[in-house]
Structure 1
Amino acid sequence: MASSSNSSEIRVPIFNGENFDLWMIKMRTMFISHELWSYVDEGYTVPEIENMSIAQKLELKKKIKKDAKALGILQNSVSEEIFPRISNEETTKAAWDVLLLEFKGSEKVRVVKLQYLRRDFEYTRMNETELLNDYSTRLTDIVNQMKTYGESITEKRVVQKIFMSLNRKYDAIIYIIEETRDMETLGVQDVMGTLRLLMRG
């Protein structure tokens, strides 16, 4: 499905009930790119109409139009099976909140999930027979899920985790990196690229 705006087609990822977290990240990026995220995340307040000035009425009309655009995008981004869940919602935030509650869970559920993810992050180690790329993907998935559930985790923390959790065969390379690079600014992608390069060498 897709919706149109200003004669240009907006391509949207379709949510069919699976991989909600990934879909949510893609949708957030799309809404931000169209300057509509605030209507999804915060909504908008309608002032007392009786006391509204002409300027306020024009501003409200603009907000209603933008919210309708965002709601249309959201409606077109869910499958026919999911659509009935949000079909009666009149604002983007209300529809988004319905999906959040059903597929992401309540705040209490999210806190519990984040606790499990934190534990997974702390205890994750590279297996003896595991390839570097496979371990990198596995760790990245955990980190991305943590961020989805609201965890603020720095590049420095992830880099430290990588160094502490790799196989012993990487010890010499890790030592070289620690001695020759600025650990305060070293990024995850830079670390993984260096590890792959030195292991090939």
Structure 2
Amino acid sequence: MAQSIDKMPFFDGTQYAHWKTRMKFFIKSKDYKLWDIVEDGTFVPQQSKTDWSAEDRKKMELNCKALHILFSVFGPNIYEKMSSCESAKEVWDKLEVTYEGTNKVKKTKIRLLNLAYENFKMDSEEDIEKMFDRFSTMTNGLKGYGEAIPEEKLVRKLIYSLLES
């Protein structure tokens, strides 16, 4: 069953990589400037609100819109973990550390996925569809960590991974 393109992707703490990709595109589709705020952070003016420039006010409005979108997709447990955050970037960064890990953890996961990629072979009881699903999960995991593999290399790897039969 197809989902509405306007439906925000709910996050309950599972399948973070999948949710992260969907959420990134959802926010960009609403307003690309919102994604800039999530990715780059927001400047918080040091002066009182009455002294804010129009640009300061616009950045703060974008931050509030991005926060609203993010908090709207969290279940109660995730909301509790993120509720102290004051900027959309802070929420996004905290989600990444919580569900992807620190840079050291990410590097370890990338190494493990690269090792799985290098050793990938079709199992004897596996059909092509299951093999491709397993391959896609692994390569999408690498891509999620910023380790995209060129398509021609992926195709070669798949072909060489097939059983002779």
Same fold (TM over 0.5): yes
Counterpart of 2:124 in 1: which secondary structure? Answer: coil
CA distance in structure 2 between the partners assigned to 1:10 and 1:80 by the alignment: 22
The answer for the alignment partner of 1:143 in structure 2 is 139
Counterpart of 1:11 in 2: which secondary structure? Answer: coil
Read off the aligned partner of 1:70 and give its amino acid letter: A
The answer for the alignment partner of 1:58 in structure 2 is 54
Per the TM alignment, residue 29 of structure 1 is displaced from its structure 2 partner at its CA by: 1.0
Please list the CA deviations of residues 22-59 of structure 1 after superposition, one character each: whole Å capped at 9, or x if unmatched.
11111111111121211111112346659xxx9x8112
CA distance in structure 2 between the partners assigned to 1:131 and 1:153 by the alignment: 24
Q: How does 1:1-201 map to 2 (within 5 A)?
A: 10-34=6-30, 35=32, 36-46=34-44, 49=47, 57-169=53-165
CA distance in structure 2 between the partners assigned to 1:45 and 1:112 by the alignment: 33
Task: Extract unaligned runs of 5+ from structure 1.
Answer: 1-8, 170-201
CA distance in structure 2 between the partners assigned to 1:46 and 1:15 by the alignment: 27
Please list the CA deviations of residues 96-141 of structure 1 after superposition, one character each: whole Å capped at 9, or x if unmatched.
1111111110011000000000000110101123111111111000
Per the TM alignment, residue 73 of structure 1 is displaced from its structure 2 partner at its CA by: 0.5
CA distance in structure 1 between the partners assigned to 2:95 and 2:43 by the alignment: 21
CA distance in structure 1 between the partners assigned to 2:85 and 2:6 by the alignment: 21
Counterpart of 2:53 in 1: which secondary structure? Answer: helix
CA distance in structure 2 between the partners assigned to 1:129 and 1:87 by the alignment: 47
Read off the aligned partner of 1:134 and give its amino acid letter: K
Please list the CA deviations of residues 130-185 of structure 1 after superposition, one character each: whole Å capped at 9, or x if unmatched.
1111111110000000111111211111111111111113xxxxxxxxxxxxxxxx
CA distance in structure 2 between the partners assigned to 1:47 and 1:69 by the alignment: 17
Read off the aligned partner of 2:42 and give its amino acid letter: Y
Stretch moving more, 30-39 or 41-50: 41-50
Task: Extract unaligned runs of 5+ from structure 2.
Answer: none
Alpha-carbon contact 2:42-2:87 (below 8 Å) kept:
no
The one of the two structures with greater contact order (alpha-carbon pairs below 8 A, sep at least 6) is 2
Paired residues, what number?
A: 157
Task: Find runs of 4+ consecutive structure 1 residues off by over 6 angstroms.
Answer: none
CA RMSD of aligned residues (A): 2.0
Read off the aligned partner of 2:135 and give its amino acid letter: L
Counterpart of 1:15 in 2: which secondary structure? Answer: coil
Counterpart of 2:77 in 1: which secondary structure? Answer: coil
